[in-house]
Amino acid sequence: MKPMIKKSLVSVLALGLLVLVSGCDNDNDNGAGRYEISVTNLSNNQPMSPPAWAFHDEDYMGWEIGSAATAGLEILAESGDASSFVSEARNHAAVYTQRAADEMVLPGQTQTYTVAFRHDGGLQFTLATMLVNTNDAFVGVSGVKISDLATGEERTYMARAYDAGTEENLETAATIPGPAGGGEGFNAAREASDKVSMHSGVVTNSDGLSSSALDQSHRFDNPVARVVIRHL
Amino acid sequence: MKTSRIAASALAMSALLPLTASAQDLSVTVTNLTHGIYFTPVLVAAHEDGTHLFQQGQAASASLQAMAEGGSLAGLVTDVINANGTYSENPAMGMLAPTASTTTTLNTDGTSNTYLSVVAMMLPTNDGFIGLDSIAIPTEAGTYTFLLNAYDAGTEANDELLNPGAGGAPGVAGIPGAPGGDTGTGGTGAAGADSNTMVHIHRGALGDTNATGGTSDLDSRIHRWLNPVAKVVLTVSNP
């Protein structure tokens, strides 16, 4: 019984929030937050496309295992271009703020971003970035709850690699947009399965896939990135 | 509404007392996170502290071996029954396909089954399985997520050769089946006996890209995985 009650209460609250958000763009929202996001690329040779993120409540999901990727996520995961993913977030009523970084995060690098915005509680965080030397792998943190993060506190998330399920993992030069291939990024055609899953890793030409433009240096394992959220 | 909330809180508090038997409704959702691996029928079991379907670093029981090599739950279910466990067998009514989910419920009312375990074989593998080993079920109502690794039962060589049907019997080499129908034939054998014969983290599949030869009948582009391979979402409610 209890979870049901809780859920309905939350839904009522969420509905209230939606009304508030759509009703006023003024400064009379009840929360203001400043957060610092740090992203560290833990892979050996997989540059990460400029990360895109959203701060939102529980009604937004950037992706879901077993469901088809949105068009925005497909473009992000196949080409590294986050603009459509960010637009989708901007148009979602449950998203408080969204943005994509300007620069890639190279292996070993840490990039730090500061974000200030107003919100109405129930705060969650989602981030996505492409592993550019793959067909459609992206690294993500999805809907982690940060509403309990007190000022001055930070929390670390070890991010794993997902397969957008939109492009077959051929690993050929023509289909890898990163420096290892220099090939095509986004292509609207989708692979048969068309479901987001966890990524199975790359095979590479060093391990028997002779048609692969990738070599041993491009192999990766989870976690692929570290994401730290600090409430300033 | 207010009354039931208070009642629920009171129950939750009493569940924290060590001597009271727990009264809990559990909902368990198992999701296959992989891109190309199937799970055989899933076993979800609540049991007492000290009961294990498997343990890392320990030899597999005969029941676990039968599950890991052939997907059979019969032995493990008998073990759970003998341990007075509460269980759900095969909630997906068959294979759990890549990215698919299955949900089941357990009522541990009147028992001391306060620990949860989940297993299923991974296909196509020789003796790979997903496992959650005896986690303490939280007493506070809520939703809890666990990410599961792939384990190697340590009981069969990872030869990666298809041996339809027969390969599922304990001690018989080979992979009993490939539900995706995407394996090859004619492999020479990818590996001999495991160096580590205890239950351990699976080193992953090798595979190759030769559908009619090579060392493996598996396809390196389809049948590999990285951990985690499964997600278990446990929802606890105190009636």
**Is A159:A227 a contact under the CB 8 Å cutoff?**
yes
- Taking 50 as the threshold, does the pLDDT of residue B109 lie above it? yes
Query: Which segments within A45-109 are labelled E, that is strand?
Result: 52-56, 95-100
A192 and chain B: CB distance < 8 Å anywhere?
Answer: no
Where does the pLDDT of residue A8 fall: very low under 50, low under 70, confident under 90, or very high at 90 and above? Answer: very low
Share of chain B above pLDDT 70, in %: 90
List pLDDT tens digits, range B1-44.
Answer: 333 433 344 344 444 444 344 557 999 999 999 999 999 999 99
Please tell me whether residue A151 adopts helix, strand or coil conformation: coil
CA distance B174 to chain A (A): 22
Owning domain of residue A31: 27-231
B208 and chain A: CB distance < 8 Å anywhere?
Answer: yes
Residue B90: which CATH number?
Answer: 2.60.40.2130
Owning domain of residue B230: 2-54+85-151+226-237
What sign does the CA torsion over B205, B209, B215, B216 have? positive
Number of domains in chain A: 1
Residue A7 lies in a domain: no
Angle between helices B74-82 and B62-70 (to 10 degrees): 150
- Taking 80 as the threshold, does the pLDDT of residue A73 lie above it? yes
Residue A9: both structure tokens together = 């209460």
Interface contact flag, A210 B34, Cβ < 8 Å = no
Interface contact flag, A199 B5, Cβ < 8 Å = no
Interface contact flag, B35 A163, Cβ < 8 Å = yes
A44 and chain B: CB distance < 8 Å anywhere?
Answer: no
A-B C-beta contacts closer than 8 Å: 82
A3 vs B contacts (CB less than 8 Å): 141-143, 235, 237
Please tell me whether residue A201 adopts helix, strand or coil conformation: coil
A197 and chain B: CB distance < 8 Å anywhere?
Answer: yes
**Is A216:A207 a contact under the CB 8 Å cutoff?**
yes
Residue A107: which CATH number?
Answer: 2.60.40.2130
Number of domains in chain B: 1
Where does the pLDDT of residue A83 fall: very low under 50, low under 70, confident under 90, or very high at 90 and above? Answer: very high
A169 to chain B: nearest residue by CA?
B221
B4 vs A contacts (CB less than 8 Å): 1-2, 5
pLDDT, average across residues A56-83: 98
- The rounded Cα B164 to chain-centroid distance in angstroms is 21
CA atoms within 13 A on the CB side of B100: 17
B238 and chain A: CB distance < 8 Å anywhere?
Answer: yes
Cis, peptide link before residue B170, omega less than 30° from 0: no
List pLDDT tens digits, range A90-100.
Answer: 999 999 999 99
Q: Which of A161, A193, A207 is opposite residue B220, by nearest beta carbon?
A: A207
- Taking 90 as the threshold, does the pLDDT of residue A65 lie above it? yes
CA distance A112 to chain B (A): 27
DSSP A213: S
List pLDDT tens digits, range A10-36.
Answer: 343 343 333 333 333 333 345 889 999
pLDDT (0 to 100) of residue B24 = 77
A66 vs B contacts (CB less than 8 Å): 31, 99-101
Q: Can you give chain B as a three-state secondary structure string? A: CHHHHHHHHHHHHHHHCCCCCECCEEEEEEEECCCCCEECCCEEEEECCCCCCCCCCCCCCHHHHHHHHHCCCHHHHHHHHHCCCEEEECCCCCCECCCCEEEEEEECCCECCCEEEEEEEEECCCCEEEEEEEEECCCCCEEEEEEEEEEECCCCCCCCCECCCHHHCCCCCCECCCCCCCCCCCCCCCCCCCCCCCCEECCCCCCECCCCCCCCCCECCCCCCCCCCEEEEEEEECC
Interface contact flag, A200 B209, Cβ < 8 Å = no
Residue B47 lies in a domain: yes
Residue A184 lies in a domain: yes
The rounded distance, in Å, linking the Cα atoms of A56 and A14 is: 11
C-alpha to C-alpha distances, B188 to A61, A64, A204, B173, B215, nearest whole angstrom: 45, 39, 22, 13, 5
Q: Does A133 or B9 have the greater pLDDT score?
A: A133
- The rounded Cα B196 to chain-centroid distance in angstroms is 20
B143 vs A contacts (CB less than 8 Å): 3
The rounded distance, in Å, linking the Cα atoms of A131 and A164 is: 11
A2 and chain B: CB distance < 8 Å anywhere?
Answer: yes
pLDDT, average across residues B44-51: 97
**Is A112:A38 a contact under the CB 8 Å cutoff?**
yes
Q: Which of A1, A200, A222 is opposite residue B34, by nearest beta carbon?
A: A200
pLDDT (0 to 100) of residue B238 = 78
Residue B178 lies in a domain: no
Residue B74 lies in a domain: no
Q: Which of B99, B209, B231 is opposite residue A195, by nearest beta carbon?
A: B99
Mutate to test the interface with B, among A203, A220, A224 (most CBs of B within 10 A): A203
Residue B166 lies in a domain: no
Q: Which of B34, B235, B239 is opposite residue A197, by nearest beta carbon?
A: B34
Residue B132 lies in a domain: yes
Interface contact flag, A200 B35, Cβ < 8 Å = yes
Phi/psi-derived region of residue A193, left when phi > 0, alpha when psi is between -120 and 50, beta in every other case: alpha
Comparing A12-16, A117-121, A195-199, B187-191, which segment has the lowest mean pLDDT? A12-16
Residue B120 lies in a domain: yes
C-alpha to C-alpha distances, A62 to A74, A158, B99, B123, nearest whole angstrom: 11, 17, 16, 29
List pLDDT tens digits, range B123-168.
Answer: 999 999 999 999 999 999 999 999 999 999 999 999 999 999 999 9
CA distance B1 to chain A (A): 7
